[in-house]
Structure 1
Amino acid sequence: MHKNVRSKDRLDVGTIIAEDADTLTIYKGSGREYKVPKTLVEGYNGAEVSLGITYKELLGYKIQ
Protein backbone atom coordinates (compact mmCIF):
# COMPACT_ATOMS: atom_id res chain seq x y z
CA MET A 1 0.00 0.00 0.00
CA HIS A 2 0.91 3.68 -0.26
CA LYS A 3 2.31 3.19 -3.75
CA ASN A 4 2.09 5.94 -6.34
CA VAL A 5 -0.34 5.36 -9.20
CA ARG A 6 -0.05 6.52 -12.82
CA SER A 7 -2.72 6.48 -15.50
CA LYS A 8 -2.20 5.04 -18.98
CA ASP A 9 -1.45 8.58 -20.21
CA ARG A 10 1.35 8.76 -17.57
CA LEU A 11 -0.34 11.25 -15.23
CA ASP A 12 0.18 10.95 -11.47
CA VAL A 13 -3.29 10.08 -10.19
CA GLY A 14 -2.54 9.57 -6.49
CA THR A 15 -1.55 7.02 -3.89
CA ILE A 16 -3.11 3.69 -2.96
CA ILE A 17 -4.61 4.03 0.51
CA ALA A 18 -6.66 0.81 0.72
CA GLU A 19 -6.87 -2.56 -0.95
CA ASP A 20 -9.32 -5.40 -0.76
CA ALA A 21 -9.73 -8.61 -2.72
CA ASP A 22 -11.02 -6.94 -5.90
CA THR A 23 -10.39 -3.19 -5.68
CA LEU A 24 -7.86 -0.47 -4.91
CA THR A 25 -8.72 2.88 -3.34
CA ILE A 26 -6.62 5.76 -4.68
CA TYR A 27 -6.35 9.11 -2.90
CA LYS A 28 -5.25 12.31 -4.65
CA GLY A 29 -6.06 14.96 -2.03
CA SER A 30 -8.83 17.54 -1.75
CA GLY A 31 -11.41 14.79 -1.36
CA ARG A 32 -10.50 13.08 -4.62
CA GLU A 33 -10.73 9.34 -4.06
CA TYR A 34 -11.20 6.65 -6.67
CA LYS A 35 -12.13 3.00 -6.23
CA VAL A 36 -10.94 0.93 -9.17
CA PRO A 37 -11.07 -2.80 -9.91
CA LYS A 38 -7.70 -4.53 -9.73
CA THR A 39 -8.33 -5.77 -13.26
CA LEU A 40 -7.44 -2.23 -14.43
CA VAL A 41 -3.88 -2.55 -13.11
CA GLU A 42 -1.53 -2.87 -16.07
CA GLY A 43 1.76 -3.16 -14.22
CA TYR A 44 3.91 -2.52 -11.17
CA ASN A 45 7.60 -1.59 -11.23
CA GLY A 46 8.34 -1.75 -7.50
CA ALA A 47 7.61 1.93 -6.90
CA GLU A 48 4.53 2.72 -8.99
CA VAL A 49 1.35 1.02 -10.06
CA SER A 50 0.35 1.63 -13.70
CA LEU A 51 -3.30 1.63 -14.69
CA GLY A 52 -4.60 0.51 -18.06
CA ILE A 53 -6.97 3.50 -18.26
CA THR A 54 -6.46 7.21 -18.88
CA TYR A 55 -6.97 9.89 -16.25
CA LYS A 56 -10.21 10.93 -17.95
CA GLU A 57 -11.50 7.36 -17.69
CA LEU A 58 -10.42 7.19 -14.04
CA LEU A 59 -12.76 10.09 -13.23
CA GLY A 60 -15.66 7.68 -13.73
CA TYR A 61 -14.47 5.74 -10.65
CA LYS A 62 -14.56 8.72 -8.29
CA ILE A 63 -16.07 8.00 -4.88
CA GLN A 64 -18.89 10.44 -4.22
Structure 2
Amino acid sequence: MICPRCANDKTKVLKTIKSDTNERFRRCIKCGYTFMSIELIKVDDWAKFYIKETQKGLFDEAL
Protein backbone atom coordinates (compact mmCIF):
# COMPACT_ATOMS: atom_id res chain seq x y z
CA MET A 1 0.00 0.00 0.00
CA ILE A 2 1.37 3.41 -0.94
CA CYS A 3 1.47 6.12 1.72
CA PRO A 4 -0.81 9.05 0.74
CA ARG A 5 1.57 11.56 2.35
CA CYS A 6 5.07 10.60 1.11
CA ALA A 7 4.31 7.93 -1.57
CA ASN A 8 6.49 5.32 0.14
CA ASP A 9 5.36 1.79 -0.72
CA LYS A 10 6.25 0.20 2.64
CA THR A 11 3.50 0.34 5.26
CA LYS A 12 2.69 -1.68 8.35
CA VAL A 13 -0.80 -2.93 9.19
CA LEU A 14 -1.71 -1.90 12.75
CA LYS A 15 -5.24 -3.27 12.96
CA THR A 16 -7.79 -5.00 10.71
CA ILE A 17 -11.56 -4.87 11.13
CA LYS A 18 -13.12 -7.70 9.12
CA SER A 19 -16.63 -7.49 7.69
CA ASP A 20 -18.10 -7.12 4.18
CA THR A 21 -15.41 -4.51 3.64
CA ASN A 22 -12.12 -5.08 5.44
CA GLU A 23 -10.83 -1.88 7.04
CA ARG A 24 -7.11 -1.70 7.78
CA PHE A 25 -5.31 0.90 9.83
CA ARG A 26 -1.79 1.37 8.46
CA ARG A 27 1.37 3.29 9.36
CA CYS A 28 4.02 4.37 6.89
CA ILE A 29 7.48 3.00 7.70
CA LYS A 30 9.23 6.12 6.32
CA CYS A 31 7.23 9.13 7.59
CA GLY A 32 5.06 7.55 10.35
CA TYR A 33 1.78 8.77 8.85
CA THR A 34 -1.23 6.70 9.98
CA PHE A 35 -4.11 6.14 7.55
CA MET A 36 -6.98 3.77 6.84
CA SER A 37 -7.53 1.59 3.77
CA ILE A 38 -10.66 -0.29 2.73
CA GLU A 39 -10.74 -3.59 0.87
CA LEU A 40 -13.91 -4.15 -1.19
CA ILE A 41 -15.19 -7.22 -2.95
CA LYS A 42 -15.35 -6.82 -6.71
CA VAL A 43 -17.96 -8.93 -8.46
CA ASP A 44 -17.40 -9.34 -12.20
CA ASP A 45 -19.96 -10.30 -14.84
CA TRP A 46 -19.05 -13.99 -14.76
CA ALA A 47 -19.63 -14.12 -11.00
CA LYS A 48 -23.01 -12.38 -11.41
CA PHE A 49 -24.05 -15.03 -13.97
CA TYR A 50 -22.80 -17.85 -11.74
CA ILE A 51 -24.62 -16.50 -8.68
CA LYS A 52 -27.80 -15.98 -10.69
CA GLU A 53 -27.79 -19.55 -11.97
CA THR A 54 -26.72 -21.37 -8.81
CA GLN A 55 -28.15 -19.36 -5.91
CA LYS A 56 -31.30 -17.71 -7.18
CA GLY A 57 -32.83 -15.26 -4.74
CA LEU A 58 -29.81 -14.98 -2.47
CA PHE A 59 -28.22 -11.89 -4.07
CA ASP A 60 -31.11 -10.48 -6.10
CA GLU A 61 -30.56 -6.94 -4.82
CA ALA A 62 -26.86 -6.97 -5.79
CA LEU A 63 -27.62 -7.95 -9.38
- TM range, normalised to the smaller chain? 0.3 to 0.5
Q: TM-score, normalised by structure 1?
A: 0.37
Larger radius of gyration between Structure 1 and Structure 2:
2
Q: TM-score, normalised by structure 2?
A: 0.37
Higher strand share: 1
Tell me which of the two structures has the higher relative contact order, counting C-alpha pairs closer than 8 angstroms and 6 or more residues apart: 1
